[in-house]
Amino acid sequence: MKIAMLVYPGMTPLDLLGPLQTWSQMPDTEIQIVWKNTDPVMTDAGMDVVPTHSFADAFENPDIIFAPGGRKPTIDLTQDADTMAFLKSRGENAKWVTSVCTGALLLGAAGLLDGYKATTHWAAIPFLEGFGAIPTEGRYVIDRNRATGGGVTAGIDFGLAMVAEIAGKETAQMIQLAMEYSPQPPFKSGTPSEAPPEILQKVLDGYANVTA
């Protein structure tokens, strides 16, 4: 299993690390962390991610191409010709075209979600239609060979769902157990419908400058 996972300045690291941790436990899997070059990439959490491969030497025919999300840097990246060309070329050859969070907007901007059901972070769902996708709410959405995850923490659910598709349900369950993935959050505030109205408004206010 050959997997190419995009990274870029300003991305959200957990978007990457959730599926990376699950997929790295599949047998016979080789994962490349890919950017334009192999210099360290600063994420929005203040930590560097070091690419293992550049666009030039990444898999030409990956089994999975993956894009993580973020805030304004992700929106800006939709206008980056080199990144769009890389995603388009690999996406056209990949068995699976995938993303977590606003990484779906990158896939959409590369022309890879036209006519496919897709999800993303709840605050970015309205943007999907502009890229030709069919906006669909969910922790993850699989439509033919397109698989997209919701916001940030949904990457683990998405990652395990992909393992089940590729390597079988038993393998996915084994990985889930090995990761001790049994979420019990201290608050029921993880979706707009669950969060208290004042909390939702404060988060929306914080997102107001994302596309500014």
Which residues carry out catalysis?
A: 101
Tokens 């957990």 belong to which residue?
Answer: 14
Which residue type, as a one-letter code, is found at position 178?
A
Interior/surface letters 155-180, b for 16+ CB within 10 angstroms, e for the rest: bbbbbbbbbbebbeeebbeebbeeee
| Total count of residues recorded for the chain | 212
Angle between helices 154-167 and 169-178 (to 10 degrees): 140
